[in-house]
A and B are shown apart, each in its own frame.
Chain A
């Protein structure tokens, strides 16, 4: 009866189990016909399966673990079978180490597998670890190949999973995807375009107090444009990389608000010039913030760690291509128009006022989360 009570009562306390359930982490990296693997299995789980605590003091030492190394590896690898089409891959264990995960220490098994002679086309993974001990155990697989990685959750006891291994082509296709994503972002990311425009409009002019005059030659204008664009590119590449690789994180509301402020300032600078020759510096300083804005797009795509660098490169390339296309269209037209008097009054002044006004609305919307109807 007492036992009945114990159970009776606890059902009420239906807070979900608060610990992490049992997982193992399996990373397979495929290189032609060879698979190199790393398999992290929780010491607690292994203790339950084969008993690691030899002296029964409820603590597992490195010595105890080492004395069971052969049994451990036999236990684990008899429950993980890799095959290429129907040929089983051989396995060779190279190292036994330790690592820490969020719920404690794990043994790390490092191994190599040789499959058939030809490059692997389909990799079969038959995972049965702890199938009979804990049906809730899962193997979290990360499959790496040519800088692309995919993930899968392996359920012990279910039929073997087959993964299609693509040849190198797909990574090219993926790169193209990210390039076009970058180009698209420059074109639909209106704030980036307006920021660049505000800095470029006066590129075809030189400021001589108290007014702007047409630049003496196309070469001068071009040099100015190159400076501004290079500074902007350099800056946003730095912060984009840093953010995507996880070194820095900034709240997106703050980033978006400062981007809007940067547009206002860049436009106002054309009306009340403070930075005239040094617009490249302005482009660099605010470019840093725009980089965080770009990173927000990539973050939304939920990238795998291993494909991050690749996508970063592609996305950045795309952004540059978009920018260059913009400049190539803009510069000749602006240069031509700047030879007429109305350029300063109509284009420089009115456009800058318009841009500053629009960006002010953005600042309000983004910083104070008000929606302004225009």
Chain B
């Protein structure tokens, strides 16, 4: 009898609400199934360009314009489908006998977005051999070297950029790479002196974000906050900016503000993760649903063989699933591909949580070598060296 009771109780405990969705037939013709992401007029412009290109497939300028428009949409929404469309438009121009440096540079930005850095650098080198007066190519090259942690190479590319373009972007590029190689303080001062309140909002958003992150590394909390606010004030949608600002808020346990900032941002994975971390700390009900959604997305990416999110996946494993070992493995693999301060941080945190400080050795060596300064990393480094 007791056995029976036990069985029944166990059965009740094991009942779980997790149900898989089944395909269905909508009840009404008016049921809206999907809202398309691009705002109406943006989509129209894209469609016009696209149908023009269908009529004039040999128009190289038109193809470049369409590819650029797709890449811009891809960036705004952080949506890889647009990068795929852009790649398809460029492909006919990248086969022999064409040697089109602009098309190569555009493809490099697509490859960079996929974190296929080697292929992107190869495209950039080919393009620059054909025409060294390509500011875009030098800047993309610098950005890739910076992500890879090769700051001297990034600086060389920025110098080349300065030779061909007098824009303030070249100065920002130079100071960005200097700031990562032991000159954070002076770079910050010089960049603060250069930056103006006027200009292209896109450029301002970028420069302010750069300054905010730099201030954060120098633990100038107030400065960072005001740079972030200025960047957000430009009203330019940037997933990168939102991600960095959300991390800044999470570090200060201002979780309510994170939820407010990202409440509607469940599409972009990076933002969804920050939102979920904030909800977890606030013990909000929405946390469970978002955690499951991230897990489903990770499974979907795995099915495809994608590995571009290893850094964030490590963070998800460490803080949401409390699985330090898996987090460490992911963070270590991520470190082989990219070496930004946030990549260093997650590897250090995972190594300490998994009680394997020796696994953080590559980061420790890297920071000694590059003299990277970051207030967020210092305490972690001390413990790891301990």
CB atoms of B304 and A140 under 8 A apart: yes
7 A-B pairs with least C-beta separation: A63-B29, A13-B240, A134-B84, A18-B268, A136-B84, A17-B80, A62-B26
A–B pairs, 15, beta carbons within 8 Å: A11-B109, A11-B139, A13-B238, A17-B113, A19-B267, A20-B269, A21-B81, A22-B81, A22-B84, A44-B81, A57-B40, A103-B267, A135-B87, A248-B13, A280-B3
Q: Contact between A58 and B78 (Cβ–Cβ < 8 Å)? A: no
A231 CA to B243 CA, complexed, in Å? 53
A12 proximity list for chain B (CB < 8 A): 139, 143, 176, 206, 210, 240
In the assembled complex, B2 has its CB within 8 A of some CB on chain A:
yes
Known pairs A18-B269, A231-B3; A98 contacts B36 (CB<8 A): no
Interface residues in A230-283 (C-beta closer than 8 Å to B): 231, 238-239, 242, 246-248, 251, 280-281
Evaluate whether A16 and B36 lie within 8 angstroms (CB atoms) in the complex, with A8-B136, A108-B23, A288-B10 already known: no
* Binary CB contact string for chain A from 3 to 32 against chain B (1 if under 8 A, 0 otherwise): 111111111111111111111000000000
Query: Is B130 an interface position by the 8 A CB rule?
Result: no
Main secondary structure of the interface of B (DSSP, over half): helix
Q: In the assembled complex, how far is the CB of residue A175 from the closest CB belonging to chain B, in whole angstroms?
A: 25
Report which of B77, B87, B136 forms a contact with A4, defined as CB distance below 8 A: B136
| Residues in A neighbouring B140, C-beta threshold 8 A | 11
List CB contacts (< 8 Å) of A47-64 with chain B: 47-48, 53, 56-63
Contact B200 A18, beta carbon cutoff 8 Å: no
Q: Which of B68-76, B179-187, B188-196, B373-381 contacts A (4 or more CB under 8 A)?
A: B68-76
Q: Could you say which residues of chain B place their CB within 8 Å of the CB of A284?
A: 3, 6
A160 to B136, CA, bound (A): 38
Are A5 and B36 in touch, CB under 8 angstroms?
no
Across the interface, which residues of A come within 8 angstroms of B35, CB to CB?
A: 58-60
Whether, in the assembled complex, B24 has its beta carbon less than 8 Å from a beta carbon of chain A, the answer is: yes
State how many residues of chain B have any CB contact under 8 Å with chain A.
Answer: 93
Whether the Cβ atoms of B16 and A11 lie closer than 8 Å is: no
Q: Is the CB of A15 within 8 A of B135?
A: no
Whether B81 and A16, one on each chain, are in contact in the complex, defined by CB atoms closer than 8 angstroms, is: no
- The distance from the CB of A12 to the nearest CB of chain B, in whole angstroms, is 5
Instruction: Check B14–A238 contact: CB distance below 8 A.
Output: yes
Contacts of A19 in B (CB 8 A): 77-81, 267-269
CB neighbours (8 Å) of B24 from chain A are 97-99
Expressed in whole angstroms, the minimum distance between the Cβ of A16 and any Cβ of chain B is: 4
Which A positions have Cβ atoms within 8 angstroms of B? 2-23, 38, 43-45, 47-48, 53, 56-63, 65-66, 97-105, 108, 110, 132-138, 140, 151, 153, 231, 238-239, 242, 246-248, 251, 280-281, 284-285, 288, 369
**CB of B49 to closest CB in A, whole Å:** 13
Given contacts A60-B36, A61-B30, contact A247 B16 (CB under 8 A): yes
Asked if B297 is an interface residue, CB under 8 A from chain A, the answer is yes
A53 to B176, CA, bound (A): 44
A53 in contact with B36 (CB, 8 Å): yes
Minimum Cβ distance to chain B for residue A133 (Å): 5
- B residues whose Cβ falls under 8 Å from a Cβ of A: 2-3, 6-7, 10, 13-16, 18, 21-26, 28-40, 43-44, 68, 71-72, 74-75, 77-81, 83-85, 87-88, 91, 109, 112-115, 135-136, 139-140, 143-144, 147, 167, 169, 176, 200, 202-203, 205-206, 209-210, 238-241, 243, 267-272, 293, 296-297, 300-301, 303-306, 308-309, 322, 355
The 8 Å CB contact of B88, one of A5, A58, A61, A135, is A135
Contact A20 B301 (CB under 8 A): yes
- Tell me the smallest distance from the CB of B215 to a CB of chain A, in Å: 17
Q: How far, in whole Å, are A38 and B13 apart by their CA atoms in the complex? A: 34
Q: Select which of A56, A58, A153 is within 8 A of B305 by beta carbon.
A: A153
The answer to whether B203 and A9 touch across the interface, beta carbons within 8 angstroms, is yes
Cβ of A59: which chain B residues have Cβ within 8 Å of it? 32, 34-36
Complex CA distance for A22 and B6, rounded to whole angstroms: 48
